[in-house]
Amino acid sequence: MKSFFSALLQSRAGLFGFVLVTVFVLAAILAPFLGLPSPTRSDLLARMAPPTWTGLFSPGAHPLGTDELGRDILSRIVYGSRVTLIVACSAVVLGGVVGVLLGIIAGYYRGIVDRVLMRIVDIQLALPLMLLALLVVAALGPSTRNLIIVLALTSWLRYARIIRGQVLALREREFILSAHAIGAGTWRIMLRHLLPNVLTPALVIATLELARIIIMDAALSFLGLGIQPPNPSWGRMLSDGRVYISTAWWIVTFPGIAILLTVLSVNLLGDWLRDYFDPKLRTSR
Amino acid sequence: MARYLLSKLFEAALAIWGVVTIVFFVSRVLGDPTVLLLPMGASQQDIDTLRAALGLDRPILEQYGIALLSMLRGDFGISFQHTRPALDVVLERMPATGMLAGTALFFGTLIGAVAGAIAALRRGTISEFVVMTAALLGQATPVFWLGIMLILFFSVQLGWLPTGGSGSLAHLILPGLTLSVFVSASIARLLRSSLLDIMREDYVRTARAKGLMPRTVFFWHIARNALIPVVTMIGIIAGELLGGSVVIETVFAWPGVGRVIMQAIQAQDFPVIQAGVALVAVIFVVTNLLVDLLYGVLDPRIRQR
């Protein structure tokens, strides 16, 4: 753990990502204690108030201005990050667990199980992820739970493919052969011996997937198929604010910056984790 | 080579069949088209008649078999919204999507390749830092937001370019630029790390030691091998762009395939959804097939298999 942090301090990009991610997570968790106005309370007297620092006349104190209903944009961004964080993390965990388990099973059993699973991966890859997500959301109906399922569905195959490759190599190693020799059962070998050895690559994939999922979540919300109002969501703020682009530029500008910074910091952290744990993973992405 | 080609063709056909099957069953979950087609308060008898006419009263597997056979003939049924063959509705959007995808791929690959090569060859200089920072930012920017920001700057503030729609070259600039940024960022990062990996190989050192010209070493020994992962990436991106970038087409009101599928999903227009998704899957699979064949050209080891 100590060497982990000293290595992190050595890398400017990694540290930057780590600090920013920490700040965002803390802000999301502590949102109710930050003294922000309610993200859903509208103040019709302060509709589309410009950010205070622009020097333009702005009723009330809104650091990033207000939207078309007079709701505080900063507060909506911070509360929106809570929703994004919950959805993205749940999707990453769900997709990760399914993907890792299927990857281990495919790599361990090989043969027909492996062929069927990898064929399913190929079939799913024949459809652009966004289109698949649109179809499934449209079929299940938009809700937070369905959004998580859809995002996980676009994610599991990345784990499955890479973990399968790792297990194919691991299963010939001595410690697995000796586990066989002492009569360890299949499940025991998969969960006690193989799983711990693929957790590191899984963690690296998970971080990089998190960034992709945050963008996709915003895109689905932007199309009206993600998180439903009145919950604030970054993508929805962008699509609602787009109508007022010629009069109130701040409504569409700041939620986008929030997405950009979040994705950038998660990506930086993910790249660093990958280089730290296993530089070989680089080519597999 | 022939065996390699055959197995790739078989995989491609299997993938398309899988996608069509998924789409058939998903769109049967989507809802009942008779509710949309008949006026409110239609009698049960009318509903039954229409269901029989559409074949919706048959067992689901029989419906699936019939649908599969007609899809093979290119018959996806009549669009509920447009009352025209569904495949025509989708196909006539293809030129718009193709134009946008072509523009983005051409400029994105060009800029990305030059930037990635500079970053790898000028390792540790300010040029590398600038290219890599720009690429990181480009990858972290949601494309639809970038599109909105470009509209804000070039259309709303400066008034130079139209905010959306199609019809002239001016309409193509903003959506093309938005997608190019995304494409070039991915390609620059991948090409740089791929070049750096190859430059460390022993055979590159051997080639240099033989006294070959630096340019020969770069193009024949380094670039050729470093291109393999980049070609895969370009193939995937090309497939996604040709399938219509739903979000960008929505932002710029671009009349492409992605947008027509999105509208069909909202209107529960099953025939158009099925035709659209099948078309996208075919495009996607064919592009990947071309990439696999290109591998054979780039990597002789695959050709010999």
For residue A134, which residues of chain B lie inside 8 Å, CB to CB? 246, 261-262, 265
For residue B142, which residues of chain A lie inside 8 Å, CB to CB? 215, 218-219, 256, 259-260, 263
What is the interface pTM, i.e. ipTM, of the complex? 0.80
Q: Is B78 helix (H, G, I), strand (E, B) or coil?
A: strand
The span from the CA of B118 to the CA of B189, in Å, is 11
Query: Chain A within 8 Å of B193 (Cβ-Cβ)?
Result: yes
In a domain, B84, yes or no: no
Q: Which range marks the domain in which residue B206 is found?
A: 94-260
Q: Is A194 helix (H, G, I), strand (E, B) or coil?
A: helix
Q: Which residue has the higher pLDDT, A95 or B250?
A: A95
Query: Chain A within 8 Å of B230 (Cβ-Cβ)?
Result: no
In a domain, B39, yes or no: no
The span from the CA of A62 to the CA of A263, in Å, is 25
Query: What value does the mean pLDDT take over residues A116-140?
Result: 81
For residue A240, which residues of chain B lie inside 8 Å, CB to CB? none
Contact, B216 vs B272, CB < 8 A?
no
Residues A155-186 pLDDT 10s = 898 888 888 888 888 888 888 888 888 888 88
**Which pTM value belongs to this model?**
0.83
Cβ neighbours of B147 (radius 10 Å): 25
Angle formed at CA B1 by CA A285 and CA B6, multiple of 5 degrees: 80
Q: Is A35 helix (H, G, I), strand (E, B) or coil?
A: coil
The span from the CA of B236 to the CA of A175, in Å, is 38
In a domain, B156, yes or no: yes
Contact, A23 vs A272, CB < 8 A?
no
The span from the CA of B207 to the CA of A131, in Å, is 46
A-B contacts (CB, under 8 Å): 126
The span from the CA of A84 to the CA of A269, in Å, is 18
CA dihedral A144, A145, A148, A152 (to 10 degrees): -160
The band of A283, judged by pLDDT with boundaries at 50, 70 and 90, is very low
Per the structure, the count of domains in chain B is 1
Residues A74-91 pLDDT 10s = 888 888 888 888 999 999
Which CATH number do you get for residue B109?
A: 1.10.3720.10
What residue of B is the nearest CA neighbor of A268? B136
In a domain, B211, yes or no: yes
Residues written for chain A: 285
Residues B49-91 pLDDT 10s = 777 777 777 777 888 888 788 888 878 777 877 888 888 888 8
Q: B281 and A249 in contact by Cβ < 8 A?
A: no
* Strand partners for A66: A72
Q: Which residue has the higher pLDDT, A12 or A70?
A: A12
For residue A218, which residues of chain B lie inside 8 Å, CB to CB? 142, 144
Q: Which alpha helices (H) appear in A59-143, and where do they start and end?
A: 73-109, 111-125, 129-140
Q: Dihedral sign for Cα A255, A260, A261, A265, please.
A: positive
**Residue B42 to chain A, least CA–CA distance (Å):** 25
Shortest CB distance from A126 goes to which of B229, B273, B284? B284
In a domain, B222, yes or no: yes
Query: Chain A within 8 Å of B15 (Cβ-Cβ)?
Result: yes
* Strand partners for A72: A66
Contact, B260 vs B93, CB < 8 A?
yes
The span from the CA of A122 to the CA of A157, in Å, is 9
In a domain, B158, yes or no: yes
Phi, psi at B206, each rounded to 5°: -60, -45
Residue B226: both structure tokens together: 């470093």
A187 burial class (0-12, 13-18, 19+ CB within 10 angstroms)? exposed
Cβ neighbours for A275, distance < 8 A, ≥ 6 positions apart = A282
Q: Whole-angstrom distance between the N-terminal and C-terminal Cα of chain B? A: 6
For residue B265, which residues of chain A lie inside 8 Å, CB to CB? 134-135, 138
Give me the domains of chain A, ranges plus CATH numbers: 10-27+49-282 (1.10.3720.10)
Among candidate residues B128, B181, B178, the one with its CA nearest the CA of residue B154: B178
For residue A238, which residues of chain B lie inside 8 Å, CB to CB? 144-145, 148
Q: B246 and A259 in contact by Cβ < 8 A?
A: no
Among candidate residues B80, B84, B67, the one with its CA nearest the CA of residue B35: B80
What is the model's pLDDT at position B36? 66
Query: Chain A within 8 Å of B19 (Cβ-Cβ)?
Result: yes
Residues A208-251 pLDDT 10s = 889 889 988 888 888 888 777 777 888 888 888 888 877 778 88
Query: What value does the mean pLDDT take over residues A98-126?
Result: 86
The span from the CA of A108 to the CA of A261, in Å, is 39
What is the model's pLDDT at position A284? 38
The span from the CA of A63 to the CA of A37, in Å, is 11
Contact, A87 vs A151, CB < 8 A?
yes
* Candidates A118, A125, A127, A234, partner chain B, best to mutate (most B CBs within 10 A): A127
Residue B242: both structure tokens together: 């040709």
Q: A128 and B243 in contact by Cβ < 8 A?
A: yes
Query: What residues 112-141 of chain B have any CB closer than 8 A to a CB of chain A?
Result: 136-137, 139-141
Contact, A68 vs A241, CB < 8 A?
yes
Residue B287: both structure tokens together: 């592009």
* Candidates A131, A158, A254, partner chain B, best to mutate (most B CBs within 10 A): A131
Q: What share of chain A is helix, strand, coil (3-state, %, to 5)?
A: 75, 0, 25
The span from the CA of A165 to the CA of A209, in Å, is 18
**Residue A128 to chain B, least CA–CA distance (Å):** 6
Q: Dihedral sign for Cα B141, B143, B144, B148, please.
A: positive
Residue A82, CB-side half-sphere exposure with 13 Å CA sphere = 14
pLDDT in tens, chain B (305 residues): 677 778 888 888 888 888 888 878 877 766 666 666 666 677 777 777 777 777 777 777 888 888 788 888 878 777 877 888 888 888 888 888 888 899 999 999 999 999 988 888 888 788 888 888 888 888 888 888 898 888 888 887 787 877 777 777 778 888 888 899 989 998 898 888 888 888 877 887 888 888 787 787 888 778 777 888 888 888 888 887 877 678 888 888 888 888 888 888 877 777 888 888 888 888 888 888 888 777 777 776 666 55
Residue A182: both structure tokens together: 């002492």
